[in-house]
Structure formats: structure tokens, C-alpha cells
Structure 1
Amino acid sequence: MAERVLELQAPAKINLCLHVGPRRGDGFHSVCSLMEKVSLFDSIRVGPSREGMRVRGMDIPREDNIVSRAVEALERETGKVFSIDIEIGKEIPMAAGLAGGSSDAAAVMRAVDCLAGLGLTSERLSTVAAEVGADVPFFVTEGPQLAAGAGELLEAADGLAGYHIALAVPDAELSTARVYRLFDEAGGVSGPDFRRRCMELKASLGEAGGLDGMVSLLYNDLESVASALVPEIGRIKDTLLELGAAGALMSGSGPSVFGLFAAAGEASAAAAALRRTGLRAWAAAPLRPPAPSA
């Protein structure tokens, strides 16, 4: 392990669209989702340790800590043991539908790969990431992705229009497992209907030009059941629309809510207005890889 410290940023994600299918035999649900990384970051420092693996900044037992599990998955894959010190500065709210833990795990996997000189290919790193959590492979990729399977099967979603967001999180946490269970109890979605909607989403990506096109994609199967548990989700959506958002949606299993804006100043003003009501709120933008040079 190299005697140096790496500092990384781990971004949040939003689900611009989330279709949920039937529960699978492994306990997970099939999903079809359009996911985007956005400029709200946790900060991570990774360096060598003489005391084995240490993770600071996440008040979670090691056996339940996705970052620890990510390092352990790399150890199983490579047959090596990594003595590393990991410090996480949390800015992304936990249990909010923004996949902050999965992003942290992916960032630490990249750091270990670099510090230990493993030289893992992106494909191999993604395969190991899928063992850690369904959202982790997404953070090994660049740009927006169309996710299938349990979220680990990814296809680049190129050509999406630009936008800005204001993002707010109510003072509540939602258990992902509970939200999915309530979705099933409410009737869920049949297999044929789910597959049809996935095909329609994929076909519509090529037609999503401009901000109106992005708004037309906004959909989340879990929003109604999550809103029944946390009514403030609906109130935040209404407030974002009143503040000028072209569209608004809950991300993932909630309870975070984002609104789409055409300009950075509009998103910043909306986030500031939401903070004045006592909410945690941020302005952000999608993270896209640079366009290839001519």
C-alpha cells in the first residue's frame, strides 16, 4: 500500500425516473431507472493504517457499514488484506434516496485500487461493486445511466439535456425495505406492465430534448407510498413548483425531493427559499463527462 493519502469527492445521485417491477427470487425488485450523479458531495480521505481497516465519520457498526463491506469485497477478489484509514465527511443526507453510502463505497474502492496498485479494469471493479450493493456499480461509471436488474445492469444514457436542481430533504428517514414492502402491499406492478414501461422509458430518452423533455421523464413508482409515510414530500414538491421548478420528483425511496430548473440562479434561489423554511436544501447540477474533442 502506497504511503500517501488520497482525497476524493463522492457525489449524490438522483433518480429522474424509477419504475419498480415484481420482487425477484433473491429478495430484490427488478427496476428500470434513469440515474444521474449531481454536485452534492461527501468528502473522503483514504490512506495507510497500522491498525487494520478503520472507518471514521459514519456512525454505523462495521458489519452494517457499506464502506467496510466494499473493502472486504476487494479483499476477497484480490486475496489481499488492506490496512487503511478511511475518513468520511458526510454532506449527503443518509437514508434519503440519494445513495450517499453507495457513492462512498465506490469512491473508497477506487482509492484502494489506486493505493494498492491493483490495476483493476472498470469491468472488474463494477463486478465487485455489484456484490456490495445494487447502486454501487453506478458510481464506478461516468455520466447518466439507465439501470436495470436490481440496479446493477447499466447502459449509458447519452444526449440528455442540461438542467439545474434544487434539492431538499425533510427531517425524516425512510427505510428502503419498508417503502418497497408497502409498494408490494399496495399491489405493485405486474411483470408485463413493468417491461412495457421500461421499453417506453428507453425509447423516450432519444426524444428528451430541452428542459421540457427532461420533465416528461420524471416518474417514481415509490413516491405515493413514501408520501403516505412522510406527507412533507408532497408539500416540498408543491413548494418547488411554486418557486418556479419545471417539474419535481422524489428521488429513489425518498424522502429527498428535487426540482428541475433551467438556470443555476433559479435553482440557488429556490434552495435558499427552502432553507428559510427550516429544510435542509442545496442547489446542484448534473455531473457529465466532458464532451470528446473534435
Structure 2
Amino acid sequence: MTQSVVARAPGKINCYFKVGPPRADGYHSVASLYMAVSLYEDVSATARTDQEIHVSLHPDSTAVSDPESFPLGPENLVVKAATMLREYTGHYAGVDLCITKRVPIAGGMGGGSADAAATLVACNALWGTGLTREELSRLGARLGADVPFAMHGGAAVGLGVGDELAPLLLRTRTDWVLVPASYGLSTPRVYGMLDRLRANEEVSTPTEVDPAMIGALLDGELETLAPLLVNDMTRAALALAPELGVVRDLGEAAGALHALVSGSGPTLALLARNQDHSAQIITQLSDEAGVATLPVHGPVPGASILPAVIISPQL
């Protein structure tokens, strides 16, 4: 049996995100277009001789400013994912799980979901439990709506609560500049704010992603695509963190085709024409405005096993 496995899963941005009214179960129906981007979470799984599940944080975790406060107990999604896989398969082995976090925490990019997807893939390989990617995706959906997408990666339309995925086969690369915040926003808190802001509005349940937006993305027509990028959560994120509006304006002033909040925020995603344009935006924001940035591109593949010699990020 293999003694150690490393799996990698990508963060995501929402190129399109329409949100319906709260449902009876407390969730919201959405129509989203997910894109997996080249900012990754890694989870290494190493066999133990007992049945304990132990989690640690890799020192190269650039997304964690205070490692001492990072939760590594039962509430962490990697623990939940490994526990769920054991219970589902009846394979009660122990494992040491080490997370390398690069996706902004509580940043609207699905970093926790990427951790869960990578854990399921790594432990499935380590323990030889033999589940297919589809079976792992169905398990992951119990942990969160974004986990199945982190498992598959690429680009996809998401309906329902975001877990009803229809893949899109994009032929062209899209370059983005991410602007991570120094703080996170709780997803339930942002949804709650959105509901309060729309309390006196008539809100319909979204049933599709704008076909014009999908067409522009498929054709690589970025000038057409830019004004079609939309996220209903933006107004709620801005209400909770008004400074995001300032940074968004700085991004567009720096030449971004469009700036939008990813998911529930507070990470901002700035659309660039190409890799060179991305570098120009980064130079202006970093050098002239002192704004921290991360260059990424998409779409990229979902959760997968890494060769043992590759542990560094691929940006």
C-alpha cells in the first residue's frame, strides 16, 4: 500500500452568480458559472499505524496569517472528508493530513471545498478504497455545494444550490488578477445581508446562466464578456466591507476589463485581456497603489494526485 499521497485542488471564481430568495430549507437557489483557477490547495495524506486522523498546516501556507488560530480539529473540512470516506467505505485506517493553504480563507474562492476535494482524492488513493470521481463528488456534496466543482475543475454552470453541474468545454485561457483581502467574510453572513437588502424587492429564482455570457466566454470575446460578468452578492459584500468598492475602482482604473467579487467575497477578480495585460495591471496596483495581487488563469483541472516530487504551487 502507498504510504503517502499528495493531492491538489483548485480555487474558483464565479464569473456569473445570480441568487434567488431564501428557500424553506434555508438555502438559496443560484445560477452560477464557476471557473477553476490556478491557485491551489494541497493536501498530503500519510498512513498511520493507528486509526487516528491528525491534521497539520504546512509552513508554506501563504493564505494563513496566524497559524496558531487556524482550526485543525473536527470542524475542519479535511477531517470531515476523511471521516466521511472511512464511514462510507468501512476502511477505518488512520491518516496524517497536512494542508498547504494558498486560496484566501473565507474569500469567496472555495478554498475549504478544495481542501475537502483534495482530501477525498488523496485518502481514496492512500487507502485503496477504489471510489470513482463521481462517487467522490457525491460524497463531497454532503460537505458543501462547491466540493463537486473542486473535484472536477474546468468551468461549469451550477444550478440548484450550485451542486447541479453542467461542464463547459472552454478552448481559450482567461487571465485574471486576484485581489485578496486581509480579512474574510462569512458566507452565511453575506447571504443574510443580501436578504436584508432585498427584503422589499421581488426576487425570482434563477433558472439559467445568461446565454450571451456563456457564448462570449466560449468564443473568447473578452470585450463582450466583461459587461456580462455579474454577481448578486456584490452589493451585500460591499455593504459589509465598503472598502471593497474602492479597491474595485482602483482595479478598473488600472485597466481591468471588469472587476467583480468572487462568490461571497471579499476576494476581487479582475479580468485581463491576456497574461501581459495581467502583468500590467499588477504593476500598477502593486507599485502605485500598494495593493496585494495574485495572477491566475483558468480554466484548470480539478482535484488530482501530484507526482511525489511536485509540491510547489503552479501559478
Query: Is the TM value for this pair above 0.5?
Result: yes
For residues 230-266 of structure 1, give each alpha carbon's deviation from its aligned partner in whole angstroms, at most 9, with x where no partner exists.
Answer: 1221112111111111111100000000111112122
Provide the C-alpha distance between the structure 1 equivalents of 2:119 and 2:202, rounded to a whole number of angstroms. 38
Give 3-state SS (helix, strand or coil) of 2:8's partner. Answer: strand
Corresponding residue of 2:53: 53
1:287 is the counterpart of 2:286: no
Q: Given the superposition, is the C-alpha separation of residues 200 and 6 from structure 1 closer, same or farther in structure 2, using an over 3 Å criterion?
A: closer
Q: Which amino acid aligns with 1:85?
A: D
Corresponding residue of 1:31: 30
1:199 is the counterpart of 2:208: yes
- Of 227-236 and 247-256, deviating more is 227-236
Report the CA distance between 1:207 and its aligned residue.
Answer: 4.5
Kept after mapping to 2: 8 A contact 1:164/1:286: yes
For residues 253-284 of structure 1, give each alpha carbon's deviation from its aligned partner in whole angstroms, at most 9, with x where no partner exists.
Answer: 00000111112122123234434444431001
Q: Given the superposition, is the C-alpha separation of residues 110 and 93 from structure 1 closer, same or farther in structure 2, using an over 3 Å criterion?
A: same
Corresponding residue of 2:180: 169
Provide the C-alpha distance between the structure 2 equivalents of 1:152 and 1:227, rounded to a whole number of angstroms. 26
TM-score (normalizing by structure 1): 0.90
Kept after mapping to 2: 8 A contact 1:20/1:221: yes
Corresponding residue of 2:309: none
1:106 is the counterpart of 2:117: yes
Report the CA distance between 1:200 and its aligned residue.
Answer: 5.3
Provide the C-alpha distance between the structure 2 equivalents of 1:171 and 1:238, rounded to a whole number of angstroms. 18
Within-5 A mapping of 1:68-83: 68-83=79-94
Corresponding residue of 1:6: 5
Corresponding residue of 1:254: 265
Provide the C-alpha distance between the structure 2 equivalents of 1:212 and 1:86, rounded to a whole number of angstroms. 43
Give 3-state SS (helix, strand or coil) of 2:55's partner. Answer: strand
Provide the C-alpha distance between the structure 1 equivalents of 2:205 and 2:171, rounded to a whole number of angstroms. 23
The aligned length equals: 285
Provide the C-alpha distance between the structure 2 equivalents of 1:30 and 1:3, rounded to a whole number of angstroms. 41
Report the CA distance between 1:160 and its aligned residue.
Answer: 6.3
Provide the C-alpha distance between the structure 1 equivalents of 2:127 and 2:226, rounded to a whole number of angstroms. 43
Provide the C-alpha distance between the structure 1 equivalents of 2:105 and 2:254, rounded to a whole number of angstroms. 26
Q: Given the superposition, is the C-alpha separation of residues 260 and 167 from structure 1 closer, same or farther in structure 2, using an over 3 Å criterion?
A: same
- Of 182-191 and 134-143, deviating more is 182-191
For residues 139-179 of structure 1, give each alpha carbon's deviation from its aligned partner in whole angstroms, at most 9, with x where no partner exists.
Answer: 11131011111111100122464321110012222111111
Corresponding residue of 1:211: 222
Kept after mapping to 2: 8 A contact 1:167/1:283: yes
Q: Which amino acid aligns with 1:287?
A: P
Provide the C-alpha distance between the structure 1 equivalents of 2:285 and 2:293, rounded to a whole number of angstroms. 6
Q: Which amino acid aligns with 1:181?
A: G
Q: Which amino acid aligns with 1:281?
A: T
RMSD of aligned residue pairs (Cα, Å)? 2.0
Corresponding residue of 2:61: none
Corresponding residue of 1:292: none
2:164 to 153, 161, 178: 153
Provide the C-alpha distance between the structure 1 equivalents of 2:156 and 2:30, rounded to a whole number of angstroms. 13
Kept after mapping to 1: 8 A contact 2:103/2:109: yes
Q: Given the superposition, is the C-alpha separation of residues 202 and 125 from structure 1 closer, same or farther in structure 2, using an over 3 Å criterion?
A: farther
Kept after mapping to 1: 8 A contact 2:10/2:153: no
Q: Given the superposition, is the C-alpha separation of residues 127 and 143 from structure 1 closer, same or farther in structure 2, using an over 3 Å criterion?
A: same
Provide the C-alpha distance between the structure 2 equivalents of 1:275 and 1:82, rounded to a whole number of angstroms. 47
Identity %: 33
Provide the C-alpha distance between the structure 2 equivalents of 1:242 and 1:24, rounded to a whole number of angstroms. 38
Corresponding residue of 1:84: 95
Kept after mapping to 2: 8 A contact 1:42/1:104: yes
Report the CA distance between 1:224 and its aligned residue.
Answer: 0.8
TM-score (normalizing by structure 2): 0.84
Provide the C-alpha distance between the structure 1 equivalents of 2:160 and 2:272, rounded to a whole number of angstroms. 30
1:127 is the counterpart of 2:138: yes
Provide the C-alpha distance between the structure 1 equivalents of 2:144 and 2:41, rounded to a whole number of angstroms. 18
Kept after mapping to 2: 8 A contact 1:135/1:152: yes
Provide the C-alpha distance between the structure 1 equivalents of 2:36 and 2:202, rounded to a whole number of angstroms. 29
Q: Given the superposition, is the C-alpha separation of residues 3 and 161 from structure 1 closer, same or farther in structure 2, using an over 3 Å criterion?
A: closer
Kept after mapping to 2: 8 A contact 1:21/1:190: no
